Amino acid sequence: MKALYIPLVLLSGMLAFGLWTGAYAQSHAQGWTAALQEADQLAQEENWDAAEEAIRRGYEDWNSRQVFLHVIMEHAELDEAEVLFSAAFAACDARDVPDFHAALGQLDTQLNLLAETQQLSIQNVF
């Protein structure tokens, strides 16, 4: 029976870490997408400086978590989000509402997909 303690503790620790990373990713993705929604609303109102600041806040938070995100997520998926952040900044600089809205929509989808990959679900296990 004692031989099972160490594997059970390790397995429990891995499960707890997996559940925590899912909650961590989901929580931060909600914050990033809230910043994108705010930026979209501000752009609709033609308040481009405030829209850029909203994206920048979201991007700075995103960027501050890159080390840990690279540990728990696929690098190609994170790189795709980086490209989409760049596209959103470019559309904001161009003050192009349709392109900006499209870039934010794609980025929102990508960030939610990243969070989804960390959730404990049958889809992610198999």
- Tokens 């349709």 — which residue? 98
Q: Would you identify the CATH topology of the domain 2-125?
A: Four Helix Bundle (Hemerythrin (Met), subunit A) (1.20.120)
What pLDDT score does 45 carry? 94
**In this predicted model, what pLDDT tens digit does every residue of 21-77 receive, in sequence order?**
989 999 999 999 999 999 999 999 999 999 999 999 999 999 999 999 999 899 999
What pLDDT score does 121 carry? 75
Q: Going by C-beta distance under 8 Å and a sequence separation of 6 or more, which residues neighbour residue 81?
A: 62, 107, 110, 111, 114
* Full-model pTM: 0.86
**In this predicted model, what pLDDT tens digit does every residue of 68-121 receive, in sequence order?**
999 989 999 999 999 999 999 999 999 999 999 999 999 999 999 999 988 877
Strand, helix or coil at 46?
Answer: coil
- Tokens 């596209």 — which residue? 87
What pLDDT score does 4 carry? 87
| Cα angle, residue 10 at apex, residues 78 and 27 outer, rounded to 5° | 35
Strand, helix or coil at 118?
Answer: coil
What pLDDT score does 126 carry? 65
What pLDDT score does 124 carry? 67
Confidence of residue 125 (pLDDT cuts 50, 70, 90): low
Please check the confidence at residue 1 and state whether its pLDDT lies above 90.
no
Amino acid letter for position 109: T
What pLDDT score does 118 carry? 86
- Give the whole-angstrom CA distance, residue 102 versus residue 19: 32
Work out the average pLDDT over 1-30. Answer: 89
| Cα angle, residue 69 at apex, residues 67 and 71 outer, rounded to 5° | 75
